Amino acid sequence: MAIRTATAYREGLRDGRRVVYQGKQVDDVTAFGEFTTAIAHSGLAYEIAERHPELAIADDGDGPYTAFYKVPRTAEDIVARGRLIETVSRMGAGTIVLKEVGSDALFALLRALSGQGHDNAVEFYRHCCANDVALAVAKTDVKGDRSLPPHRQADPDLYVRVVDEDADSITVSGAKVHTSFSANADELIVLPTRAMGHDDADWAVSFAIPMDTPGLTLYVSPYLHGEPNGFEHPISSRHKLLESLTVFDNVRVPKARVFLNRQPELAGPLALAFVDYHRFTAVNYKLPVLDLLVGAAIEMAQANGIASAGHVKTKLTELITYAETVRGFADLAALRSISGGNDVQLPDPLAVNMAKYHFAHGFHAATATLIDLAGGLVATGPGGDDWADPQTRRVLAKYFAAAAPAEERLRLIHLIGDICTGQWGGYQSVLATHAEGSLEAEKLQISRAFDPTRARAAVAQVLREAATSDQRDAVGV
């Protein structure tokens, strides 16, 4: 077992992986300036072991290892996992860091599989714990025509598929998208994205490979490109993720690293097993974002001198209600967690999907409220270079002072802009709608998870008692 430092993690990324950014190949991700912020941000997944060892280090008797990879066996384990995810997200200003998603995939593999696939998953899990591996997860296929299953697509590579197999390996081709951390992780877990039928067997595949595997190419998105300053971008100047289109061009995978091989009946259960953990991760890493929304609203109302206005109090109360409802559902998902396959605990599917749905459904209204409280300076306010110039600063300090000094107020306004209107805020807005499952996906899981027995029994009891009372009245009892 091992606990790596952030420096060791960074050094381990120098391995010859094929990464393309804005049409050009990146030879060394650690030396490429556009990736510096993202790699430092993901390094928080290792720094937390030094800053919060009571949360971030586990030891089951064989030596210390990262608590992100501690397999949950009890409700208390799920509660502890929630605290760990929230804490590391708070270190990253509400931005998911690194190990959370990979551990979601590990737990899904350990819970949903059986036979040789499960045995391979156990060995890979041990490897990850022993070496403190940084994992990325490629789950979402590019999908092509969404109305068609994999085997009916015009191009068969629109879902990752097995194209060849021998005694020792399989060979895969295709592409996944929205692969967070791919360019700055050590290894990649590939999962199916959906349920599949018999004719989709070639596409029912799951495996893990190192990032420098031949045939694997990562096309990294340029969102948040540039060098934003801390005055205008207090979050996005320090915290960033790398996302990629992840292309497999005849990638050979040793069978010891294959977890699912042409078993379509397991594709859906494995995909859903990942979702059970990933949405719990989602609602816990978003809790610091909700605290930022509420805290910025309170501070902005004070800075603008409007905190005592009735409509402002109403808006703040609505924001608090929204944020604390999400937190309550997140807590409930852990407290009501249940034992799943292979004795791996999972968060309560009903509560966790209600938490994620409530967050996503209310996020855009919450940011609109925050913008309303901040005012138009979110879009038209002066920038960091303005404030850095002494002569300009004197003018700004005079005319932008309110119930708080100008600098305090302007920095707060730019924080709100970063959260709500800038590239980071836009990214969060898209995440709220699509990441960790869409609103429709969450509603579907809520419907599936809800047991109507109690509700139906309540109706039956009332009707039964009413009918009994009617019968008594009819006979004059």
pLDDT value of residue 473: 73
Angle (CA) 60 61 62, round 5°: 100
In this structure, the dihedral spanned by the alpha carbons of residues 381, 387, 389 and 394, taken in order and rounded to 10 degrees, is 90
Q: What is the mean pLDDT of residues 188-208?
A: 97
pLDDT for 328 beyond 60: yes
pLDDT for 191 beyond 90: yes
Q: Give the span between the Cα atoms of 132 and 256, in whole angstroms.
A: 19
Amino acid at the residue 138: A
pLDDT for 252 beyond 80: yes
pLDDT value of residue 216: 98
pLDDT for 474 beyond 80: no
pLDDT value of residue 475: 72
Q: What is the mean pLDDT of residues 275-286?
A: 96
Amino acid at the residue 441: A
pLDDT for 476 beyond 70: no
pLDDT value of residue 292: 97
pLDDT value of residue 470: 74
DSSP class of residue 154 equals S
pLDDT value of residue 227: 77
DSSP 203-237: G-EEEEEETT-TTEEEEE--TT-S---TTT-TTTT
- Cα–Cα nearest to 95, from 365, 258, 351, 288: 288
Q: Write down the mean pLDDT value for the chain.
A: 95
How many CA atoms lie less than 13 Å away from 36 in the CB half-sphere? 9
Give pTM, 2 decimals.
0.93
Greater pLDDT, 423 or 338:
338
Q: What is the mean pLDDT of residues 107-112?
A: 97
Look-up: residue for tokens 């980071």? 424
pLDDT value of residue 120: 98
Q: What is the mean pLDDT of residues 381-404?
A: 96
pLDDT for 56 beyond 90: yes
pLDDT for 226 beyond 80: no
Q: Give the span between the Cα atoms of 410 and 375, in whole angstroms.
A: 11
DSSP class of residue 189 equals E
State what percent of residues in the chain have pLDDT above 90.
Answer: 91
pLDDT value of residue 128: 98
Q: Is 192 helix (H, G, I), strand (E, B) or coil?
A: coil
- Cα–Cα nearest to 446, from 359, 326, 348, 361: 348
For residue 73 the two structure tokens come to 């066996």
Greater pLDDT, 91 or 475:
91
* Angle (deg, nearest 10), helices 439-449 and 264-285: 110
For 201-210, the pLDDT digits (tens) are 999 999 999 9
Q: Are 410 and 396 in contact (CB under 8 A)?
A: yes
For 437-470, the pLDDT digits (tens) are 888 999 999 999 999 999 999 999 999 999 998 7
Q: Give the span between the Cα atoms of 469 and 477, in whole angstroms.
A: 9
DSSP 444-474: HHHHHH--THHHHHHHHHHHHHHHHHHHHHH
- Cα–Cα nearest to 185, from 356, 58, 41: 41
pLDDT value of residue 477: 56
Q: Give the span between the Cα atoms of 161 and 291, in whole angstroms.
A: 42
